[in-house]
Structure 1
Amino acid sequence: MSDLQKRATLLRELHHGRMLVLPNAWDEASAELVAGAGFPVVATSSAAVADGLGHQDGERAPWREMFAAAARIAAAVPVPVTVDAEAGYGLRPHQFVAELLGAGAVGCNLEDTDHRAGGLVDVAAQADWLAAVREAAAEAGVPVVVNARIDVFLPSSGVADPVGEAVRRGRRYLAAGADCVYPIGMASAEVVERLVTEVPGPVNANTRDSLDLTALAALGVARVSYGPRFYRQGPAGFGEALDRLRAETDSFPARAESNP
């Protein structure tokens, strides 16, 4: 348990210095590449992990399989691991924390999409859930780092004022005990700047064409995630290689059959 405490403390500290960059992993090999490249934390991508297990994202993969994958990743690297745990898989807070720590992870993403009813979870209910997770982690003796994802910028949210709602939810989630908030899908520097300015805690963002790492660091972003981006680049590169190989194969002349 002391090792988990040390890793959780380190993960929390990394949110309050130089911008923390997380190129998300999906299995042991990708996690080893991330850690081997010198990144101080390995974060998982639920979409990539689920796809690798043969399931769709959005809590369609069995939670036991997702935590088993997280355990294999945590066992493969010497750095803290934070798990994209979607919306918590419907687990009770104490069970969720027990499964997370049992996998060897010390951080988690928890999103406010309701995967069963659709739309967003009520902000008060989500804040209560985050507070309960924080309490369960405290009882377990490990300061689990909670990254509260805010899904108001997703098309499925149906929110009329996503920026204002992201600020409101970010404040509530931090007050409930989250360590960082993650308004996924922020599309402009103006939006990022407002969230960083008006939310009193670390903010997680994604890179975009107009928001590279340098721009996000200048705006005061604490943490940057890549989700399934690198996982999806692998199959794309493999597909291109197969197309080239197939074209080369088709250009070969037919072999002449030798007489017996």
Structure 2
Amino acid sequence: MFKDMHNMEEPLILCNVWDASSAKLAESIGFLAIGTSSAAIATNLGLEDGENICFEELLMTVRTIVNSTHLPLTVDIEAGYGETPEAIVNNITKLVKLGVVGINIEDSNVVGKSRKLQDEVLFSEKLKEVKRRLIESGIDVFINVRSDVFLLNIENPVLSSINRIKRYQRAGADGIFLPCLVDSDDIKAIVASTSLPVNVMCLPELPCFEKLKTLGIRRISMGNFAHKVMLTALSSTLKTVKKEGSSKGLFT
């Protein structure tokens, strides 16, 4: 069912959530599916994005979200929370047992404060082995591969992305996510290069959803921006309360 959502007439608008309250809100508004934001979850725990929370903490958050909504949930597992295919599959298995229907996995790693692309051949081999083990175990989960070529401003990003996408498709990816892909011509070229559904992320420069539909985009996600908007609104309210010396700002 979740895979079919990437073949609807309209692009799948994925609401990114971080806890039970945001998940329930997304469901009440009418979103068809939700996905976790690793950055938002990390921020809620006072940490930076980049697998700085332990996998058990992620599982705990996912459990509360699954128990709070009927919407299909895909989980951002960053680089997989494991060095080997076996470890990554073990983590995915735990998520699927909770009711998760999809995962995002990145072809970059955060080392210290820096994010770097993994070698595309090595990542493809790892992905292929992950997919093989999942099939062997009878686990059906949508694997959305996030490629960070545009995010990291790699030279010739369109060509580099297309080369990676071809490898990832052969390795068993079900979808491709390219954060910071916003240019219409770039989107058109990348969509034309693959039969996989292409996922983009909301940014100020991103074309409107109707335009993205005509360009062939199948999935649109929000990253951690909804969470940032909420914190910005809270900050504004608290500043008003402090400045006015009154609680009225909490109720306007």
Moved more, 126-135 or 57-66: 126-135
Q: Indicate whether 1:70 and 2:67 are aligned.
A: no
What corresponds to 1:135 in structure 2? 132
* Partner of residue 214 from structure 1, selected from 199, 210, 215: 210
Identity of aligned residues (%): 31
Q: Deviation above 4 Å: which 4+ runs of structure 1?
A: none
Cα distance in structure 2, aligned partners of 1:111 and 1:36: 30
Cα distance in structure 1, aligned partners of 2:127 and 2:138: 17
* Partner of residue 97 from structure 1, selected from 92, 101, 104: 92
* Partner of residue 240 from structure 1, selected from 233, 236, 243: 236
For structure 2, the 5+ residue unaligned runs are 247-252
More strand by share: 2
Any conservation in 2 of the 1:113–1:151 contact (CA below 8 Å)? yes
Q: Indicate whether 1:115 and 2:110 are aligned.
A: yes
1:80 Cα offset (Å) = 1.3
What corresponds to 1:124 in structure 2? 121
What corresponds to 1:48 in structure 2? 40
TM-score, with structure 2 as normaliser: 0.89
Q: 1:150 to 1:73 in 2, by over 3 A?
A: same
1:128 Cα offset (Å) = 1.7
Cα distance in structure 1, aligned partners of 2:50 and 2:164: 21
1:141 Cα offset (Å) = 2.2
CA RMSD of aligned residues (A): 1.7
What corresponds to 1:194 in structure 2? 189
1:194 Cα offset (Å) = 1.1
Q: Which of 1 and 2 has greater Rg?
A: 1
Cα distance in structure 1, aligned partners of 2:238 and 2:89: 47
Number of residue pairs aligned between Structure 1 and Structure 2: 239
Any conservation in 1 of the 2:82–2:88 contact (CA below 8 Å)? no
1:94 Cα offset (Å) = 2.8
What corresponds to 2:6 in structure 1? 15
TM-score, with structure 1 as normaliser: 0.86
What corresponds to 1:171 in structure 2? 166
What corresponds to 1:225 in structure 2? 221
Cα distance in structure 2, aligned partners of 1:90 and 1:236: 33
